[in-house]
Amino acid sequence: MIWPLLSFALLSIHGVSTVLALSVSVSTVARSMMDVRDLTLDAKGHVVFVSVSYSSVYQLSENDTMLLLAGSGITEVQGAYVDGAGTVARFFQPAGITSNIERNAARMSVTEVTSDSSTSVNLNNSYVSTLAGNSNGPSHANGVGTNASFVNPVGIVYHHSGVLYVADASYVRKVVIANATVTTVAMLYGDCQYLCVSNNGALLYVTMASNITLINISSDTSEGVTTLAGTNIVGFGDGHAALFNFPCGGYIELR
């Protein structure tokens, strides 16, 4: 049996080096072979997640049973991209999901790696529609709706100003939800994985293969992109000389 590498890193943005002992309780709420890649919470606090293996969006109910919200619930072949309601819709290898809780309590946004697009899921009726991107071929073309293109969209995060940020290969892209306009925020050295955004929308934190990169969105120069932690070397290590080994997610506690 090959055991997966599992590591959690606690990063103090203010540079506090003291480590406090925490009492942590871990329990399993669901077990499956679905290859869960990303998850979020809906307005009622239910866990909603994407399954790469079954190319679908699921919700965990109050009794921790899995409810199929959108997609077929079976292994799909590449090219299975269909807008529609519930199980009529088709995804292929959805990799990221985020929720729009502040402005619309029943809407999710999902990235699909191989369809090079971002889709919107309305939880009121489980209707899936393409927000931006297309399956005509990968590129980093900016534009509106399906005239824009992505290469390898993975992580996606929502900001309450009404925008989505997408980790798209070595690019970070911005999608304005109201009009589906896609622009490029920054080009980084290496593939972006997942990201989170500060409450004021000024800072983006992006996990890379071996580091965490900070993007000052308000800056129009390359000086707005800095390495917050880690190096260009993959590994494990704490402290000021920290090393990371393909960190996949991040979260900012907004207080």
> Do 59 and 72 fall into the same domain?
yes
Higher pLDDT, residue 86 or 122: 86
Q: Do 182 and 196 belong to one domain?
A: no
Indicate the residue among 187, 205, 222 that finishes a domain.
187
Average pLDDT over residues 2-12: 47
The residue among 135, 164, 187 that closes a domain is: 187
What average pLDDT score do residues 33-59 get?
A: 83
Question: Would you mind telling me the total number of residues written for the chain in this entry?
Answer: 255
Residue 22, domain member (yes or no) = no
Same domain, 78 and 144: yes
Cross-strand partners of 74: none
Residues 207 and 105 in one domain: no
Total domains in the fold of the chain: 2
Q: Which domain holds residue 248?
A: 191-255
Q: Are residues 84 and 148 in the same domain?
A: yes
Instruction: Please state which of the ranges 4-13, 62-71, 216-225 shows the lowest mean pLDDT.
Output: 4-13
pLDDT at residue 106 is higher than 70: no
**Distances from the Cα of 201 to the Cα of 35, 164, 226, 230, angstroms:** 31, 11, 17, 23
pLDDT tens digits, residue range 193-224? Answer: 888 888 888 888 888 888 778 888 876 555 68
225/27 Cα distance (integer angstroms): 37
Categorize the per-residue pLDDT at 122 as very low, low, confident or very high, splitting at 50, 70 and 90: confident
pLDDT at residue 21 above 50?
Answer: no
Mean of pLDDT values over 235-246: 78
Predicted confidence at residue 143, as pLDDT, reads 92
What percentage of the chain has pLDDT greater than the value 90?
8
pLDDT at 184: 92
Residue 10 lies in a domain: no
Cβ atoms of 73 and 59 within 8 Å: the answer is no
Domain assignment of residue 9, yes or no? no
Residues 144, 179: contact at Cβ < 8 Å?
yes
Please indicate, yes or no, whether residues 47 and 158 belong to a single structural domain of this protein: yes
> Which of left, alpha, beta for 146 (phi over 0: left; psi -120 to 50: alpha)?
alpha
Residues 66 and 159 in one domain: yes
pLDDT at 81: 74
Residue 199 shares a structural domain with residue 174: no
In a domain, 100, yes or no: yes
3-state secondary structure of 160: coil
Q: Residue for token digits 């991107």?
A: 133
Residue 32: pLDDT band by 50, 70, 90 thresholds? low
**Do residues 86 and 159 both lie within one domain?**
yes
Whichever domain contains 168, its CATH number is 2.120.10.30
The span from the CA of 196 to the CA of 204, in Å, is 6
Give yes or no: residues 178 and 106 share one domain: yes
Angle at 38 between CA 33 and CA 39, to 5 degrees: 100
Are 78 and 106 within one domain?
A: yes
Is residue 106 located within the same domain as residue 56?
yes
- Range of lowest pLDDT (1-10, 88-97, 124-133, 219-228): 1-10
| Per-residue confidence band for 142, with pLDDT thresholds at 50, 70 and 90 | very high
